[in-house]
């Protein structure tokens, strides 16, 4: 079965006399899990991915305990008898293609790369679930909270996102837009990182950001996170007083990104107030 858009699926369900959306939905992607949990009607969502229960990655891990989980395998998803499967762009292609060959509609969501993309994903989920009214309510709340948090005036202080393997993000990424909405000036933009990429430790040190936002390391040691324990990184973090981002709030393009904006905006306010007093 060819890929169907959200509008085409809605027309299909309407033509067959079904209610305005699918009655048994399976999500196999962390980000679609959360959007579906926010918007699905009671009993509509049959399963979410197992990652939805991971407190490190999921902003709705506790909420996900109410749903059976799947591991993205075609066999297990088929046995759940869904009338719609929701996947992400990086979900297992073999699984989605097999499900389509078995006649199960699959809708693929692209990742959100901006705060505006978050709005588009909410609208898309509302369409495919037949929950447009719920999506409009969620969008209204999202827009109101974002407008309340977005800073006006000059962006300050200079900030750096610095994660495992030295990854950083510029203003053409969701993480970079979170920084901007919180009123921070992202040094990644100064250094030519429009999207995401690896920033050498030496470049970070020479840039001397006033505000460092890092990720919290996993409990077990990993080589990819050795850069976070480097004395230079620790010095910059201690000097700025900034903490670690709550990874789950940053990973997916859902309204939970606003918690990241709110947290950074408060840390920025404390930093600026301290600077102004000095």
Over the stretch 53-84, which tens digit does the pLDDT of each residue have?
Answer: 999 899 999 999 999 999 999 999 999 999 99
Q: Is the pLDDT of residue 13 over 70?
A: no
Together in a domain, 164 and 266: yes
pLDDT over 80 at 185, yes or no? yes
Angle separating helix axes 257-277 and 174-181, nearest 10 degrees: 40
Question: What pLDDT shows up at residue 4?
Answer: 46
Q: Is 137 inside any structural domain?
A: yes
Full residue range of the structural domain in which residue 272 is found: 158-277
**Nearest-angstrom CA–CA distance, 172 and 177:** 7
Give the CATH number for residue 105.
3.40.50.1980
Considering Cα of 23, then 29, then 33, then 39, what sign does the dihedral take? negative
Q: Which residues contact 71 (CB under 8 A, 6 or more apart)?
A: 49, 50
Is residue 94 situated within a structural domain?
Answer: yes
Tokens of 237: 């973090």
Contact yes or no for 233/263 (Cβ under 8 A): no
191: three-class secondary structure by DSSP: coil
Q: pLDDT class for 3, splitting at 50, 70, 90?
A: very low
> What's the rounded Cα separation, in Å, for the pair 97 and 81?
16
Asked whether residue 46 falls in the same domain as residue 127, the answer is yes
Residue count (the chain): 278
Poorest-pLDDT segment among 9-13, 50-54, 222-226, 258-262: 9-13
**Statement to judge: residues 140 and 162 lie in one domain:** no
Helix (H) or strand (E) holding 86: strand 84-88
Top mean-pLDDT range of 12-16, 56-60, 223-227: 56-60
Domain termination residue (choose one: 146, 177, 199): 146
Within-domain flag for 31: yes
Q: Which two tokens stand for residue 214?
A: 């890092």
Q: Residues of 153-181 as b/e, b for ≥16 C-beta within 10 angstroms? A: eebbbbbbbbbbebbbbbbebbbbbbbbb
pTM of the model as a whole: 0.83
What is the maximum alpha-carbon separation in the chain? 69
51, 142: one domain:
yes
Q: Spell out where 155-257 has E strands.
A: 158-162, 167-169, 185-186, 196-198, 211-215, 244-245
Q: Taking a C-beta distance cutoff of 8 angstroms, is the pair 70, 26 a contact?
A: yes
Task: Give the list of residues 6+ apart from residue 233 with CB closer than 8 angstroms, or none.
Answer: 162, 201, 204, 212, 214, 227
The number of domains in the chain is 2
Averaged pLDDT of the chain: 84
Sign of CA dihedral 128, 39, 49, 145: positive
201/272 same-domain check: yes
Residue where a domain terminates, one of 93, 123, 146 = 146
């Amino acid at each position: 079965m060819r890929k169907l858009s959200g509008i085409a699926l809605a027309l299909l369900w309407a033509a067959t006399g079904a209610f305005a959306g699918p009655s048994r939905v399976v999500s196999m992607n962390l980000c679609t899990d959360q959007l579906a949990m926010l918007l699905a009607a009671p009993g509509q969502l049959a399963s979410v991915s197992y990652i939805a229960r991971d407190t490190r990655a999921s902003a709705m891990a506790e909420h996900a305990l109410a749903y059976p989980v799947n591991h993205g395998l075609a066999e297990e998803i088929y046995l759940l008898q869904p009338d719609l499967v929701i996947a992400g762009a990086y979900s297992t292609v073999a699984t989605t293609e097999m499900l389509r060959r078995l006649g199960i509609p699959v809708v693929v969501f692209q990742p959100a790369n901006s705060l505006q993309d978050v709005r588009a994903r909410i609208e898309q989920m509302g369409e495919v679930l037949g929950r447009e009214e719920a999506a409009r309510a969620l969008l209204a709340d999202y827009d109101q909270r974002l407008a309340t948090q977005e800073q006006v005036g000059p962006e300050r202080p200079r900030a750096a996102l610095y994660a495992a393997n030295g990854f950083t993000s510029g203003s053409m990424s969701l993480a970079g837009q979170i920084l901007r909405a919180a009123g921070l000036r992202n040094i990644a933009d100064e250094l030519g990182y429009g999207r995401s990429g690896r920033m050498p430790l030496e470049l970070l040190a020479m840039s001397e950001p006033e505000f460092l936002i890092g990720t919290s390391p996993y409990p077990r040691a990993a080589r990819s996170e050795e850069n976070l324990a480097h004395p230079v990184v620790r010095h910059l973090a201690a000097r700025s007083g900034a903490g670690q981002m709550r990874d789950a709030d940053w990973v997916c393009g859902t309204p939970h990104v606003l918690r990241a904006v709110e947290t950074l905006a408060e840390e920025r306010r404390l930093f600026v107030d301290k600077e102004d007093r000095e």
